[in-house]
Amino acid sequence: MAAKISFADVEVGTELPTGSFPVDRAVLVQYAGASGDFNPIHWNEKFAREVGLPDVIAHGMFTMAEAIRVVTDWTGDPGAVVDYSVRFTKPVVVPNDEKGALIEVSGKVAALLEENTVRVDLTAVSDGNKVLGMARAVVRLS
């Protein structure tokens, strides 16, 4: 492993550089194609409203993919992620306009673990809502 960050350089409370990830309808269509998840709640407004959603929402797995970028951008080595878990608490609503939505992610070292691994707790917010709960990654540092 060749993580850019050394275990010796972090402590509980170390904050990771934040990330800001835009998402619009085109991104959702692209993600649907790449992931194989074509559920119409992610691209069909009429369908989304019929099942009780306020509008089209981003794939939970898309949000999960963006949130971990704060960790992989920090370590440089995406393969250093050994464990990653989230709960999907609120949907990321993606309006059909020029702006779309923004997912803002911050992360903080929450625990130092064995074998040069640390636990990073992540927070992801969109439109004022916390969209992930218990978002945690265990990552191996150099």
Partner 1 sequence: MALDQSFVGRSYPPTPPYEVGREKIREFADAVGDANPAYTDPEAAKALGYDDVIAPPTFAFAITYRAAGEAVRDPQLGLDYSRVVHGAQRFAYTRPVRAGDRLSVVSTIESIKSMAGSDVLDIRGEVRDESGDHVVTAWTKLVARGAEEA
Q: Which residues bind partner 1 (CB under 8 A)?
A: 1-2, 21, 27, 30-31, 33-37, 51-52, 60-62, 64-66, 68-69, 72-73, 76-79, 81-88, 134
User: How far is residue 137 from each of residues 26, 39, 99, measured CA to CA in Å?
Assistant: 28, 27, 29
Identity of the residue, 13 or 118, whose beta carbon is nearer to partner 1 in the bound complex: 118
Which residue, 7 or 88, has its beta carbon nearer to partner 1?
88
CA-nearest of 36, 44, 59 to 132 is 59
Nearest approach, Cβ of 35 to partner 1 (angstroms)? 5
SS3 label, residue 57: strand
Give me the least distance between CB of 72 and partner 1, in Å please. 6
**Shortest distance in whole angstroms from residue 135 CB to partner 1:** 10
Name residues whose C-beta falls within 8 Å of residue 60's C-beta, 6 or more positions apart in sequence: 86, 88, 91
